[in-house]
Amino acid sequence: MRLLLAEDSALLREALTALLERLGHTIAATAQTAPGLLMAFGRLTDAGEQPDLVLTDVRMPPDNSDDGLRAALDIRAMHPAQPIMVLSQYIADTYARELLTLPEGAIGYLLKDRVNRVRDFAAALETVASGGTVIDPDVVQHLLSGSRPGPLDNLTAREREVLALMADGESNADIADALTLTDAAVSKHIGSIFAKLGLGPVEDNRRVRAVLTYLQTVHL
């Protein structure tokens, strides 16, 4: 893949570049600031070389706040299908929720310590580049710290427990163990969750969509 890498730390930028190239990817351009990210993306796009994936930090100059994430949202506003992977030590509540609930998918949000798990990191990049969604379990847990009335109102208490564990990335077997349920009971609860959230059998990535619907109920 051809990647656009935005990271203000020179040391980490070089380390990520080396890792990504070792994984077989090409760094089409790098940026050290949020405006620089937008400019680099514009140059590549104008040249007909739109990157396969944008990999950006959250906190970047000029404000060292949520600049990188806001730049990513600006890119998606211009190019709704552009795959974006956010890699940060920081969870930016409002903008993270806005990014992760974009309907087109092709979004990832990982914490930087996940890079140490090279195989998982490589798989996450491929998933996002191909249109999927990858959310760090710690990000999910942070965003699920509170909820507001919404599409989850029709779920039973047990279904909410199941959905919360789904959001934590647990498998059906893990959910069964955690809640002392049979595998069949877990499958039944998940089927009911999908039905109540309006996610029919033909929906792609129903599990991810259910989790994102849960995220949309969070007070940030």
Which sign does the torsion angle of CA 138, 139, 143, 144 carry? negative
Question: Looking at the chain, which runs of residues are DSSP E strands?
Answer: 2-6, 26-31, 53-56, 84-88, 107-111, 133-135
Sheet containing strand 84-88, strands side by side: 26-31, 2-6, 53-56, 84-88, 107-111, 133-135
Contacts with 188 (C-beta within 8 Å, 6 or more apart), sequence order: none
CA distance 127 to 108: 9
8: pLDDT confidence band, cut at 50, 70 and 90? very high
Task: Name the residue ranges covered by the structural domains of the chain.
Answer: 2-136, 151-215
Q: Which of 17-21, 45-49, 112-116 shows the lowest mean pLDDT across its residues?
A: 112-116
Q: What is the total residue count of the chain?
A: 220
Of 42-46, 139-143, 154-158, 214-218, which gets the smallest average pLDDT? 214-218
pLDDT tens-place string over residues 180-199: 999 999 999 999 999 988 88
Confidence at residue 203, expressed as pLDDT on a 0 to 100 scale: 59
Q: What is the mean pLDDT of the chain?
A: 87
In one-letter notation, the amino acid at residue 86 is V
The span from the first CA to the last CA of the chain, in angstroms, equals 34
* CATH 1.25.40.20 holds for 151-215: no
> What was the pLDDT predicted at 149?
53
Q: How much is the pLDDT for 219?
A: 37
pLDDT digits (tens, 9 = 90+) for 131-182: 998 888 777 777 666 545 567 878 888 898 899 888 888 899 999 999 999 9
Q: 85-97, pLDDT tens digit by residue?
A: 999 887 776 677 7
Place of tokens 């974006």: 84
136 contacts 58 by C-beta, under 8 angstroms: no
pLDDT, position 99: 82
b/e string for 49-81 if b means 16 or more Cβ within 10 A?
ebbbbbbbbbbbeeeebbbbbbbbeebbeeeee
Q: What is the pLDDT of residue 61?
A: 92
Give me the pLDDT at residue 217, please: 66
* Whether domain 2-136 has CATH 1.10.357.10: no
Q: How far apart are CA 120 and CA 126, in angstroms?
A: 10
Instruction: List, for residues 47-94, the tens digit of each pLDDT value.
Output: 999 999 999 999 899 988 889 999 999 999 999 999 999 998 877 766
